[in-house]
Structure 1
Amino acid sequence: MWLSLLLSLVVAWWLPLAAPEPASPSGATGGQLRRLWLQDHCHAGICTNVQIGRSDYVILSQAPIPNQLMLTFINSSIAKIPHLLFDTFPDLQMLRMENCSLETFEKPQFEGASNLMSLFLGLNRLKDIPKNIFLGADNLATLHLHGNQLKHLSNHSLHALKELKELSLADNIIEQLPLGLFGGMRKLMDLNLAGNRLAALPRGIFDKNLNVTRINLARNRFTAFESELLKLQPRLSLLDISGNIIQELTLNFSLLELAVAHSCDLRRLTVYGIVRELDLHNNSLRELPHIPQAVNVTSLDLSQNPLGNLQGNPLRRFTALLRLNLSTTNAHELPEGLLKKQTSLQMLDISGNSMYSLKITLFDSLKALQYFYFQQNNWNCDFLQLLMSSFVKRKDLSFMEDITAPELVDDYVDGIACWYESDKTSKKCDASSSDAALELSVVRNEIKAFTEVVEKKFIKVYRMLEEMKMKL
């Protein structure tokens, strides 16, 4: 009797210590075992005002919620993906936790996530991707991790993602990539590495990604680029290396739909093989790129380059051009035969230059032209009226009006600013004379050139300061 009474007292004393704390409401502070009823926060796949702390252990629901294919969290503070999320939503195919303060992954994070196809975790605070963390997400096809704080990745960080087709690691602080990072992604098609701190890539890093069609390496720290890195990618259609400081560039692809290399301080470009579209704006080119098979180029953007007056007929091989942008290239004139071979041209932009007049016969071959942008030049009013009546209006071309202030011009022709001859009371004169018109043109071009140089130097200084900061 005494023994049983003693045992009863011990059990009565021990049970309050061993029993778990009662479940708290969803507003409880972190570190507690609490229930979170997502039914109260979610409607039609949109969840708002969900709060999950880093140390919270969350029970999402008493029973699985079937047939929920998508969850998007808005205006939520989530430091981690709840451990039982995919048990609660076994049919989930898309999960969006963007801008949710996500800080860490916890193993086994994706257990039971075999139906998950798309995962968007951009604009969070992730600093690391643990080894094999994606085990369980065997069918994941899209993964976005842009805008986090990722710096170092290992060969096993993205292990198990054999079905992945689209991957974004843009706008992190990644300095280098291990050779085997993408080795298991045989189906990878779209890779975005823009906005990191990459200065080089290991040779062979893409050798197993034979299906890649789009690669974005913009806004990194490359000073050179080797086409040899992508020699095994016959389906590559887009390469973006803009925003790097690459003064000389050679591209060699059998077929490339679009090459983007703007804002690189590029001074010389050679392209072998076939390229359809080239975006080269805001560089330091003083001559057209050397493209032996220029006959295949359909779009060429050379705006904001110091090309000046193009001599001879440098476009004679670009016979398939549909779009040509020569805006802000410091041009005073265009040679009469410049556009003779561009019979398929649909868009022509010569705005932002210092042109006074042109020979109307320059446009005789442009039978397919639909869009013509020629504002912000130094047009003579008499010539501009002729241009409008005999070409622009006659062909019913789309154009843009000028934004030049009225007090700075003599007149407007259909919204385009112009100036009269100097022997009349004018502010603008013949471009061939050393009068106010030419002086204004020269000063304006010098200001443009100076501004571009300052911008490029600022970018270099900013990057140097960033590197010094990292070393400190």
Structure 2
Amino acid sequence: MAMLVWPLFGWMVVQLVVLPQSHQLAPPSGNGQLRRLWLQDHCSAGICTNVEIGRSDYVILSQAPIAGTTMLTFLNSSIAKIPHLLFDTFPDLQVLRMENCSLETFEKPQFEGASNLMALYLGHNRLKDIPKNIFLGADNLATLHLQGNQLKQLGNHSFHALKEVKELSLADNQLEELALGVFSGMRKLVELSLAGNRLQALPRGLFDRNLNLTKLNLGRNLFSAFESELLRLQPRLTQLDISGNIVQELTLNFTSLDTVIAHSCDLRRLTVYGIVRELDLHNNSLREMPHIPLAANVSSLDLSQNPLGNLQGNPLRRFTSLLRLNLSTTNAHELPEGVFKKQSHLQMLDISGNSIYSLKITIFDSLKALQYFYFQQNNWNCDFLQLLMSSFVKRKDISFMEDVTAPELVDDYVDGIACWYESDKQSKKCDSGNSDAAMELSVVRNEIKAFTEVVEKKFIKVYRMLEEMKMKL
């Protein structure tokens, strides 16, 4: 019997398919069937569509190597596995995108001949594990995206040979724990995303070899605590995202961070030591301002959707470098007169979605640099609102956003902002809108608005049902 040798080049492999059927030998996989797939029939300018490759197929991609192709993107395709000879067919390939292609498995030697590959995007597939040493051959890979798969665990050798990787995404998998040395070979790693997994804790020393780590995303996991000690050896770290975890008390201790993202964590107390420039803390349970000894370095602070209330005691006095401040939906009925006294650099202020009725107009005197002011969805007194627009907003040409409140729920509009008149005309004073009666009135108005919205939605639903019944009849 004649013996066939499996060579490395596509033009030699193709000789197998021209042999008589009786002389063809089974491919190395044992169960697969040999078939030809001419990619030139499916690909144009680096975009390949309608490619179908089953898990048991042994595919020959082309008659000869196709030089000069540096990028391949597969769209509307079902590819259970990457063909063995893909990188022999495309020896110059640098970027491979097989996202949302139903990829199920890797097969050795999967990346043999892939020394030119720089970026590999395999997100939103069906991968369940990464075999040991599977990436041997992809020595120059710098970007690897594996988000949206079904990975449950990773071993110390899962990413062996990937010494050049700078960006790694493992987001939205099913990882419950990580081996201590899983990232130890990635000395050049800069960006790492572990968001959207099932991690409850990370082993100490996990990032000790990743001294160049700059951005770390741990959002949407199951952490109940976070230790800054995990990142004690990362002097270049600029962005930390721990949003979507249930961490009620958090202490961060870093020399310097550009951005901390900790929204939707049920946070009740936050302490930040060191320098931090941007803080996203929206949708938490904060009833007091975060404790930041070096608050003068903060340029952006988002405290929206926290039950902070009226900010008594001038809690912003240390935040002297703020450029952006978001206080929307913080249960505020009033704001103390000197609350913005130290914010002379502020460019964007958002106090929308509260129940503010009136303020002392002098509260805005220090806001010399303000360019964007969002104050819609409050319970403004119409007289005060006219004063606010004429003496501050319009006079300084500040951008603002109009209300969307239904006309039947308001007394009037001032330049698109909803407002109400006082029922007692003798009490029409811009500075007296913070009384208990005004606050009670604000609460009642909000309840009426919410009730009306519910009724409208139900009416629309019933109306649509009636229309559908009419059409059927």
Instruction: Name the SS of the counterpart of 2:325 in structure 1.
Output: strand
* Distance in 2 separating the partners of 1:163 and 1:295: 38
Q: Distance in 2 between matches of 1:17 and 1:249?
A: 69
- Partners of 1:317 and 1:425 in 2: how far apart? 40
Query: Within 5 A, what are the aligned runs for 1:376-387?
Result: 376-387=377-388
Separation (CA, whole Å) in 1 of partners of 2:299 and 2:248: 24
**1:434 shift after superposition:** 5.5
Alpha carbons of 1:309 and 1:279: their partners in 2 closer, same or farther (altered >3 Å)? same
User: 4+ residue stretches of structure 1 with deviation over 6 A?
Assistant: 445-448
CA distance in 2, matches of 1:21, 1:159: 34
Partner of 1:408: 409
Amino acid paired to 1:149? Q
Shift of residue 360 of structure 1? 1.1
Distance 1:321 1:440 in 2: 30
Residue of structure 2 equivalent to 1:149:
150
- 1:144/1:332 CA distance change after superposition, 3 Å: same
CA deviation map 1:340-375 (0-9, x unaligned)? 111110000000001011111111111111000000
Partners of 2:32 and 2:444 in 1: CA distance: 68
2:355–2:442 Cα contact (<8 Å) kept: no
Q: Percent identity?
A: 81
Determine the structure 1 residue equivalent to 2:349.
348
Query: Number of residues paired by the alignment?
Result: 426
Structure 1 equivalent of residue 207 of structure 2: 206
Match of 1:45 in 2: 46
Decide whether the 8 Å contact of 1:140 with 1:164 is kept in 2: yes
Give the aligned residue type for 1:257.
Answer: D
Partner of 1:438: 440
Instruction: Give the structure 2 partner of residue 4 of structure 1.
Output: none
**1:419 maps to 2:420:** yes
How many Å separate the matches in 1 of 2:32 and 2:449? Answer: 60
Q: Please report how far the alpha carbon of residue 32 of structure 1 lies from its aligned counterpart in structure 2 after TM superposition.
A: 1.9
Check 1:154–1:22 CA distance in 2 against 1; reply closer, same or farther (3 A cut): closer
Question: Which residue of structure 2 lines up, in the alignment, with residue 467 of structure 1?
Answer: none
Question: What residue ranges of structure 2 are gaps of 5+ in the alignment?
Answer: 1-18, 451-473
Inter-CA distance 262–103: structure 2 relative to 1 (3 Å threshold): same
Please report how far the alpha carbon of residue 435 of structure 1 lies from its aligned counterpart in structure 2 after TM superposition: 4.8
Alignment deviations for residues 210-241 of structure 1 (CA, whole Å, 9 cap, x no partner): 00100000000000000000011111110000
C-alpha deviation, 1:425, in angstroms? 13
Q: What SS class does the counterpart of residue 177 from structure 2 fall into?
A: coil
**Per the alignment, do residues 207 and 442 of structure 1 end up closer, same or farther by CA in structure 2, a change over 3 Å counting?**
farther
Could you tell me how far 1:441 is from its partner in structure 2? 1.9
The 2-side partners of 1:347 and 1:410 are apart by 28
Alignment partner, residue 23 of structure 2: 19
| SS of residue in 2 equivalent to 1:87 | helix
Correspondence for 2:320: 319
- SS of residue matched to 1:33: strand
- 1:159 maps to a residue whose letter is H
CA–CA distance in structure 2, aligned partners of residues 151 and 445 of structure 1: 46
Q: Is the 8 A contact 1:21 1:33 kept in 2?
A: no
- The gaps in structure 1 that reach 5 residues or longer are 1-14, 24-29, 449-472
* 385 and 208 in structure 1: CA distance in 2 versus 1, 3 angstrom threshold: same
Which residue does 1:220 correspond to in 2? 221
Distance 1:71 1:391 in 2: 56
Distance 2:208 2:447 in 1: 46
Residue of structure 2 in register with 1:252 after alignment: 253
User: Contact conserved, 2:409 with 2:449, CA < 8 A, in 1?
Assistant: no
Report the TM-score when normalising by structure 2: 0.87
SS at match of 2:74: strand
Give the Cα separation in 2 of the matches to 1:22 and 1:149. 31
Aligned CA RMSD, in angstroms, stands at: 2.2
Q: Distance in 1 between matches of 2:345 and 2:391?
A: 20
| Change in CA separation of 1:317 and 1:143 when aligned onto 2, cut-off 3 Å | same
